[in-house]
């Protein structure tokens, strides 16, 4: 197989796809809009499931390296009520590696390895069926053709319109992220409250979740039901720190200031307005729990979007999708795992297809749709229970999925 293959997006799905083909000596062109690997924060931590993400890393020959970097202790999960009482405290058994945690940045660097990425190559449009193959038009005006283009470019994919008119829609749940640094030294009480892994507190239509990353870094997520434009109603002070509302690309109606992966960062004035609004939203919760918000050092607004649960498309030769580009779902620990396994499986299918790869891609899509549809249903129902009028729904869901 010496066809011209491009994958759009240098996230877990695209890099796993390219790494598995690289292992089989098949070149892949990786097109990534970021100008460099460290152009923006890589995000939080991921728990890689034994039968999903870890299976994909095994296909890429990286499982041992992953185990050296991962944090099995990060599987710990503690649930509190709004008064600060511990309701559940799950801890991994010795040697348990079913869902160890790894920082997204560490995973990205592990997957990158020897891969050749074209940084700063934002894709504007993909046009299948041209005389020379699949035409890729770049944001800088250049263009190039390939035999196969794989869209692994996330929620607001520029590849998806070549296959499907579907667009992500707002779930009704908004997430605001903040973070704590050097938590064990600067905030030892919060460090003990969080434990070795994650801690969650569930209330009426809202929740606070804290999750350890490596190096004493903690991500904190406030989740609540609200209108999509709720943040524009904050009483923000005027001045140079104030951000404008989210804009759109006139050609595609795709948000230009935010997406489901990166969120919208805030200037200092907006951040303090956000902190005050969140403290008011969670008023009455235990002071140690609210300290997660009081001591947060930055804020990012992340409204949660999803694609239709049963998102499929008519097969188009030369183009396909992976991960969030194909089946954006609520972030309940499954999306990156599915995306990585899909990347690995598609790569293996292509490597095993000595002739025309189109049938291999078509068969892969059928398998992906069936599996992703099941997970999309599960995560959609899970989000309804985790951010619900009855906090007992969230506790019951964890009792069902956590090992006894």
What's the pLDDT at 256? 34
E strand or H helix at 303, and its extent?
strand 300-306
Report helix angle 287-294 to 268-281, nearest 10: 160
| CA distance linking residue 60 with residue 111, whole number of Å | 9
> Rounded distance, CA 86 to CA 283, Å?
19
Assess if CATH 3.40.47.10 describes domain 5-74+99-167+307-387: no
Tokens 């990286």 locate to 62
Q: Angle at CA 77, nearest 5°, toward 74 and 79?
A: 150
Task: Judge whether residue 12 has pLDDT over 80.
Answer: yes
| Residue 96 annotated as binding site | no
Rounded Cα distance between 87 and 80, Å, is 5
90 strand-pairing partners? 77
The neighbouring-strand residues paired with 102 are 46
Percent of the chain with pLDDT over 70: 90
List, in sequence order, every residue forming a beta bridge with 174; answer none if it has no partner. 224, 303
**Would you state the pLDDT for residue 271?**
86
Nearest to 328 by CA among 303, 309, 306, 310: 306
Least confident of 259-268, 272-281, 359-368: 259-268
Write down the mean pLDDT value for the chain: 90
Q: Averaged over 272-282, what is the pLDDT?
A: 94
**At 353, is the pLDDT very low, low, confident or very high (cuts 50, 70, 90)?**
confident
- 324 labeled binding residue: yes
Residues of the chain with CATH 3.50.50.60: 5-74+99-167+307-387, 170-306
In which band, very low, low, confident or very high, does the pLDDT at 250 lie, cut at 50, 70 and 90?
very low
| pLDDT score of 299 more than 50 | yes
Look at residue 87 and tell me whether its pLDDT is greater than 70: yes
pLDDT, tens only, 210-230: 999 999 999 999 999 999 988
Q: Give phi and psi for 365, each to the nearest 5.
A: -60, -40
> Per DSSP, what are the bridge partners of residue 319?
149, 316
Which pLDDT does position 355 carry in this prediction?
76
**DSSP alpha helices (H): ranges in 63-103?**
63-69
Query: Residues 156-168: pLDDT tens digits?
Result: 999 999 999 999 9
Q: Which of 152, 162, 150, 158 is nearest to 349 (CA)?
A: 150
The upper half-sphere exposure of residue 183, i.e. CA atoms within 13 Å in the direction of its Cβ, equals 27
- pLDDT, one tens digit per residue, over 253-263 is 444 333 334 45
pLDDT at 268 (0 to 100): 56
Which of 307, 293, 98 is CA-nearest to residue 179? Answer: 293
User: Quick count: other Cβ atoms within 10 Å of Cβ 262?
Assistant: 16
Structure tokens at 214: 């490596």
Looking at residue 307, its pLDDT comes to 98
Q: Single out the residue of 328, 341, 325, 327 nearest to residue 53, CA to CA.
A: 341
**For residues 330 and 306, is the Cβ–Cβ distance under 8 A?**
yes
Query: pLDDT per residue over 42-74, tens digit each?
Result: 889 999 999 999 999 999 999 999 999 999 999
Per-residue pLDDT averaged across 73-102, rounded? 94
Q: Is 93 annotated as a binding residue?
A: no
40 annotated ligand binder: yes
pLDDT-based confidence at residue 270 (cuts at 50, 70, 90): confident
pLDDT at residue number 354: 73
Out of 3.50.50.60, 1.10.4080.10, 3.30.70.141, 3.10.20.740, the CATH code matching 170-306 is: 3.50.50.60
Mean pLDDT of 181-195: 96
Q: In the chain, pLDDT over 90 holds for what percent of residues?
A: 82
Phi-psi region of 43 (alpha: psi -120 to 50; beta: other; left: phi over 0): left
Alpha carbon distance 325, 132 (integer Å): 25
**Residue-wise pLDDT tens digits, 14-49:** 999 999 999 999 999 999 999 999 898 888 999 999
């Amino acid at each position: 197989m010496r066809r011209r293959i491009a994958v759009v997006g240098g996230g877990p799905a695209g890099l796993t796809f390219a790494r598995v083909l690289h292992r089989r000596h098949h070149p892949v062109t990786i097109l990534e809009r970021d100008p460099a690997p460290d152009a923006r924060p890589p995000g939080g931590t991921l728990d890689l499931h034994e039968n999903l993400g870890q299976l994909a890393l095994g296909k890429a020959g990286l499982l041992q390296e992953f185990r050296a970097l991962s944090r099995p202790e990060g599987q710990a999960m503690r649930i509190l009520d709004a008064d600060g009482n511990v309701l559940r405290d799950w801890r991994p058994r010795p040697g348990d590696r079913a869902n160890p945690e790894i920082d997204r940045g560490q995973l990205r660097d592990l997957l990158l390895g020897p891969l050749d990425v074209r940084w700063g190559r934002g894709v504007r449009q993909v046009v299948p069926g041209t005389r020379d193959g699949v035409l890729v038009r770049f944001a800088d005006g250049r263009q190039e053709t390939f035999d196969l283009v794989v869209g692994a470019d996330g929620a607001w994919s520029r590849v998806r319109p070549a296959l499907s008119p579907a667009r992500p829609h707002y779930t009704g749940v908004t997430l605001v992220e903040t973070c704590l640094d050097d938590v064990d030294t600067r905030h030892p009480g919060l460090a003990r409250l969080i434990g070795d892994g994650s801690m969650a507190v569930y209330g009426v239509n809202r929740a606070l979740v804290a999750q350890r990353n490596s190096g004493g870094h903690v991500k904190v997520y406030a989740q609540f039901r609200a209108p999509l434009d709720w943040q524009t109603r904050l009483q923000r002070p005027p001045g140079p720190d104030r951000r404008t509302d989210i804009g759109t690309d006139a050609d595609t109606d795709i948000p230009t200031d935010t997406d489901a992966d990166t969120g919208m960062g805030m200037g200092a004035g907006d951040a303090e307005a956000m902190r005050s609004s969140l403290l008011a939203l969670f008023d009455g919760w235990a002071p140690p729990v609210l300290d997660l918000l009081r001591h947060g050092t930055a804020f990012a607004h992340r409204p949660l979007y999803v694609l239709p649960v049963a998102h499929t498309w008519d097969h188009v030769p030369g183009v396909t999708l992976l991960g969030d580009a194909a089946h954006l779902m609520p972030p309940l620990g499954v999306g990156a795992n599915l995306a990585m396994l899909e990347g690995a499986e598609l790569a293996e299918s292509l490597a095993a297809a000595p002739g025309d790869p189109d049938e291999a891609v078509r068969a892969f899509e059928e398998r992906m749709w069936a599996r992703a549809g099941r997970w999309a249903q599960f995560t959609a129902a899970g989000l309804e229970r985790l951010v619900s009028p009855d906090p007992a729904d969230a506790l019951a869901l964890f009792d069902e999925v956590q090992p006894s």
